[in-house]
């Protein structure tokens, strides 16, 4: 027997939750199919919980546009729904002349992306803000913040359900195919079923590649490469050294070992960057020595403090090691020719910040199918 529904959202990470809410608010009949037993158990809950300003990403890219728009939307959402957050600001720091030139380029890029509140600081001005910091120059991003991402995801789920969305857990999508005027999904789990959907939003995170590949009739050439980038975090014992978030000049594939703090004041450093072949969330304590060496470049007192292994996340990357960073991939009918199917690939940072803007874009795509 085949059930019918208007919209199926695959994946209950933060983007899937935001999409389900947006579609339900538009009056769509929505089911969320999640392979796990709860919301946000993978990439969405293993990050820095930062609201990014939109500085780093190439102008006119999806990452740039959706991050800047998402920052506006998420701050409004957090205020309206009373979700704890703090606009603490961020310092991106340069240690030498080469990094100073890189920061100059970042300032220009941020301005092109619409981040109009950046402030250039020399080393002494940065030290007045953060006395424990050592740097040649810094960019102050006052609109960067931190928030309770778990409360945010719970709120998105509640909003979606309030407007009629239904959640099915332990319900992996195992296959499917194109049908007249829609898509049939094969759903596994304890109660296997087939669901006919007018619209399918494939926001399954790392699983999005398998879902797309399992849909009969979807062009294999349009499934992009899938690479795994592991990032570990270490907690800092004792008193937090900084009030602002502290970021080094970014590397080619990551933003470097940055300092963040949670809403309770606990300091942490990370993530590092390790290409892996499988998802593994264990944190190797031996990495601590390398963390301390990197952190000491901008915080000389780091060697006198203890780092404790924290947690790890694994990002879904489209680019391979050594390749240029790839943009988000959001595929609709215009890209693959299949009415009603929206695939999301490579939704890594700034996906958390951009989640409401991604959902807004998805709802617009569905409205104009």
Cα–Cα distance measured from residue 47 to residue 38, given in angstroms and rounded to the nearest whole number: 17
pLDDT > 70: percent of the chain: 98
- List pLDDT tens digits, range 181-206: 899 999 999 989 999 999 999 999 99
Segment 22-38 shows an average pLDDT of 97
pLDDT beyond 60 at 252 = no
Pick the closest to residue 347 from 333, 337, 357, 336 (CA basis).
Answer: 357
Pick the closest to residue 20 from 369, 315, 356 (CA basis).
Answer: 356
Segment 111-123 shows an average pLDDT of 97
pLDDT > 90: percent of the chain: 92
Cα torsion at 64, 68, 69, 70 (round to 10°)?
100
- List pLDDT tens digits, range 275-300: 999 999 999 999 999 999 999 999 99
Write the CA distances from 195 to 38, 200, 224, integer angstroms: 21, 10, 26
pLDDT at 251 (0 to 100): 66
pLDDT at 304 (0 to 100): 86
Give the 3-state secondary structure of residue 11: coil
User: pTM above the 0.95 mark?
Assistant: yes
- List pLDDT tens digits, range 144-154: 999 999 999 99
Query: Between helices 62-81 and 149-162, what is the axis angle to 10°?
Result: 80
Reported confidence tier of residue 255, pLDDT bands at 50, 70, 90: low
Average pLDDT, the chain: 95
- List pLDDT tens digits, range 56-92: 999 999 999 999 999 999 999 999 999 999 999 999 9
pLDDT beyond 90 at 215 = yes
Write the CA distances from 183 to 141, 200, 337, integer angstroms: 44, 7, 13
């Amino acid at each position: 027997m085949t059930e019918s529904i208007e919209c199926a959202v695959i994946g209950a990470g933060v983007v899937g939750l935001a999409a389900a809410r947006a579609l339900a608010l538009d009056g769509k009949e929505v089911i969320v199919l999640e392979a796990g037993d709860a919301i946000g158990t993978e990439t969405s809950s293993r990050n820095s919980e930062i609201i990014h300003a939109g500085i780093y990403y190439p102008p006119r890219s999806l990452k740039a546009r959706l991050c800047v728009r998402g920052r506006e939307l998420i701050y409004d959402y957090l205020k309206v729904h009373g979700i704890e957050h703090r606009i603490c600001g961020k310092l991106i720091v340069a240690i030498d002349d080469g990094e100073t030139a890189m920061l100059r380029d970042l300032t220009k890029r941020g301005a092109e992306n619409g981040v109009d509140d950046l402030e250039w600081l020399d080393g002494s001005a940065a030290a007045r803000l953060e006395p424990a910091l050592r740097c040649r120059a810094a960019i102050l991003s006052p609109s960067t913040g931190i928030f309770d991402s778990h409360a945010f995801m719970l709120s998105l789920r509640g909003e979606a359900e309030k407007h009629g969305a239904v959640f099915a857990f332990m319900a992996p999508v195992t296959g499917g195919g194109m049908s007249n005027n829609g898509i049939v999904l094969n759903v596994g789990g304890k109660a296997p079923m087939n669901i006919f959907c007018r619209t399918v939003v494939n926001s399954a995170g790392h699983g999005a590649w398998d879902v797309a590949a399992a849909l009969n009739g979807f062009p294999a050439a349009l499934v992009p490469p899938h690479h795994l980038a592991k990032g570990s975090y270490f907690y800092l014992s004792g008193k937090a050294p900084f009030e602002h978030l502290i970021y080094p000049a970014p590397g080619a594939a990551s933003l470097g070992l940055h300092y963040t703090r949670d809403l309770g004041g606990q300091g942490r450093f990370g993530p590092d960057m390790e290409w892996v072949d499988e998802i593994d969330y264990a944190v190797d304590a031996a990495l601590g020595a390398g963390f301390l060496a990197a952190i000491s470049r901008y915080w000389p007192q780091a060697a006198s403090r203890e780092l404790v292994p924290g947690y790890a996340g694994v990002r879904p990357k489209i680019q391979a090691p050594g390749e240029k960073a790839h943009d988000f991939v959001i595929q609709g009918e215009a890209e693959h020719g299949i009415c009603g199917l929206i695939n999301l690939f490579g939704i890594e940072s700034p996906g958390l910040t951009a989640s409401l803007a991604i959902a807004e874009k998805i709802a617009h795509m569905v409205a104009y199918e």
